[in-house]
A and B are shown apart, each in its own frame.
Chain A
Amino acid sequence: MASTAVVVEGAPRPGRARAFLLRLRSGDEVAHLITLVFASAIFLITALLVFELYRNSALAREKFGWHFLTTRTWDPVFENFGALPFIFGTVVTSAVGLLLAIPLGVGAAIFLAEMAPARISDALTFVIELLAAVPSVIYGLLAMFTLVPLLRTVVQPFLKKHLGFIPLFQGPNYGVGLLAAGIILAIMIVPFIISISREVLMAVPVEQREAALALGATRWESTWKVVVPYARAGILGSIFLAMARALGETMAVTMVIGNDPKITSSLFAPGYSIAAVIANEFTEATSDLYIHALIELSLVLFVLTIILNGLARLLILATQRKGTAHP
């Protein structure tokens, strides 16, 4: 700090320098600078990440071009690589996960924020936050030893028997597969949705509820028609966060998805996700093209996440314009 002072004192306009020095000493300028550096570091890291992924996938991009996205083969021996089955697996498992987790998560959040007695709400919230902190390999083991046998012996035969006319529930029943991966993802992301949605719902001003009740609304009507729409942006935010986690989840998914890069119409069939194949094959990949193909897959996952997040943001904008209750 002393050296800064010397340099500044030598500057042509001592008056200004003195003012700067004063501000420096009051701490505002320092705080501004430091936080600015931290904030730009985030941007820098993202840019560096994309740049490195792009640079290190050059061989695969040159060899396969855009066909990389539409090819269904993944053959490390004859070095023919395509990303389509992995994109399919990633999107399908995340979609199944979200489909199950959204109603469950938002419903639980509404109960905890609006209906449950404070003591129960606090206790449950603690448990939920605990669940969010469980490492994913634990969820993977849970899925492998509990969920998969349950799916194979009870759930999938039941679905096959009663809904077997839908292609989603046909084909051989292994237990592991897209459905198992989707369900474990749902279990993993539900705590995020509940935890954040509950906070957002609790932040809705009490006047909003009182006003609705004063107009003769029932408790449920005030919750569903006033509080939830008011908190919609925050709830959607929690869902996007959950989606991002689902898209990138690796360990738990690879343990139960079956790891077979095929595209099928059945949820019972094994699949493969982008994150899972990278984790599985990166350590033993020896040829340059193979490594570049795996890195290009990470690039695809990155872009996929950006696209889905962008679409989600557009969805918020669209609903906000139509919205009435949002401020």
Chain B
Amino acid sequence: MKKKWSILQGCLVVVSLLAAGLLWQAQRSVAAPAAPLLLNGAGATFPYPIYSKWFDEYHKLHPDIQINYQSIGSGGGIRQVLAGTVDFGATDGPMTDEQLSQAKVRILHFPTVLGAVVPTYNISGLSAELRFTPEALAGIFQGKITKWNDAELTRPNPGVNLPGNDIVVVHRSDGSGTTYVWTDYLSKVSEEWKTKVGKSTSVNWPVGLGGKGNEGVAGLVKQTPNSIGYVELIYAIQNNMPYGLVRNSSGSFIKADLASTTAAAAGAAKEMPDDFRVSITNAPGKDAYPIASFTWLLVPASIEDGAKRKVITDFLHWMLNDGQKHAEPLAYARLPKAVVAKEVKAISEIK
């Protein structure tokens, strides 16, 4: 027994010495070459595919710079940038004045790309493209329009034989930027929605079933006859889902695509505030699709670490010029030129 212990102890000592030696060696070899500059970001999930593409491409151009991005959700992105635990955040809905007032350093919003949200539906035996008025969408999601053959739906769709079935409403159950854009739009077109439900990443839905994620909503809509839901345009395109046209503020019915989404941003760009916190739902413009939104990077206006500041400003310049080329292959709408020019000016505010 005694002997066994001493052998064991001997082994332990040898092993721990070895481990310590190895560790020391490892630390030395890491410290020797210049460490790559590491930037950390966190936030919105909606732009995650384009962001990871950008950070990857940027890393190829600058092998000594590595940008990590965690898509933990807009809420998490805002919280972490307020707490200063990340170098930059990302969000699908702009920060509120209250949130900005909590920040220790001023936080700047930089629009990166645009997304749109579309109404998708499943009516048995119907393949026609439906046209939706703002009143129809607000009425359906408030539970006031309950049948597919309601006058508000049949009037803009002459020649379409809408059934008299009950409408099953489907919405997102998880908090999401998609819901923010959708409810922001409904708040603009319906005073009652604005006062009773409001806009947020999650709301108290008057009616409907909740599906988790775009795929949850899409799954429920596909399976449930006579249902209507909303998903991101990218998701609808990639999954070949039918989606309806929506009447914009100039009275024309617009089908969502990358061009009509960029048009919405161009329409709103004329009145773009200096801090870029702007909603572009129901934007003016004949070709503008009304349910669209920017997605933003959140960058502190003062960055003490000079190297990091240089990288962030350089990345923003690259993203606004070369980076925009990567947007459309991934089904994101690119920024209109006027917005890019305004953002380039704003980058100089980072000190």
Contact = CB atoms under 8 A, between A and B. Distances in A.
A-B interface, 7 closest residue pairs, ranked by CB to CB distance from nearest: A284-B175, A259-B210, A283-B73, A259-B173, A77-B198, A75-B204, A284-B201
A25 B4 CA distance: 11
Interface of B: 1-2, 5, 9, 72-76, 78-79, 96, 99, 166, 168, 173-177, 197-205, 208-212, 216, 219-220, 223-224
B230 to A, nearest CB: 15
Given A76-B202, A283-B75, A254 B209 contact: no
Given A283-B72, A283-B73, A285-B75, A258 B210 contact: yes
Interface size class of A (residues with CB under 8 A): 20 to 34
A172 B199 contact: no
B11 to A, nearest CB: 14
B2 A281 contact: no
Given A174-B224, A284-B75, 12 more contacts: A73-B204, A74-B204, A75-B203, A75-B204, A76-B203, A78-B204, A152-B224, A172-B168, A260-B205, A270-B209, A280-B175, A283-B76
Contacts of A282: 175
A144 B219 contact: yes
Nearest to A80: B204
A77 B201 CA distance: 9
16 contacts: A26-B1, A75-B204, A76-B201, A77-B203, A254-B173, A260-B210, A270-B209, A276-B173, A279-B174, A280-B173, A280-B174, A280-B175, A283-B76, A284-B73, A284-B76, A284-B202
Contacts, number: 95
B2 A25 contact: yes
A231 interface: no
B220 A176 contact: yes
A280 B217 CA distance: 13
Contacts of B168: 172, 174
Q: Which of B177, B201, B210, B219 is most buried by chain A, counting CB atoms within 10 A of its CB? A: B210
Contacts of B223: 144, 148-149, 152, 175
B175 A283 contact: yes
A142 to B, nearest CB: 13
B53 to A, nearest CB: 22
Contacts of A75: 203-204
Nearest to A176: B209
B79 to A, nearest CB: 7
Contacts of B205: 260
Q: Which of A1, A172, A279, A280 is most buried by chain B, counting CB atoms within 10 A of its CB? A: A280
Contact of A77 (B1, B76, B99, B200): B200
Contacts of A25: 2, 5
A192 B209 CA distance: 31
Given A73-B204, A176-B220, A280-B173, A259 B9 contact: no
A260 B209 contact: yes
A76 B173 CA distance: 12
A281 B9 contact: no
Contacts of A281: 174-175, 202
A259 B212 contact: yes
A236 interface: no
Given A259-B211, A260-B208, A286-B201, A172 B166 contact: yes
Contacts of A196: none
Q: Which of B1, B75, B99 is most buried by chain A, counting CB atoms within 10 A of its CB? A: B75
Given A76-B200, A77-B200, A284-B176, A258 B212 contact: no
Contacts of A226: none
B258 to A, nearest CB: 26
A242 interface: no
Contact of B197 (A77, A144, A172, A259): A77
Contacts of A145: 219
B239 to A, nearest CB: 15
A78 B175 contact: no
A260 B205 CA distance: 8
A283 B42 CA distance: 12
B75 to A, nearest CB: 4
B204 A286 contact: no
A172 B168 CA distance: 10
Contacts of B174: 279-281, 283-284
Contacts of A285: 75, 175, 201-202
A258 B210 CA distance: 5
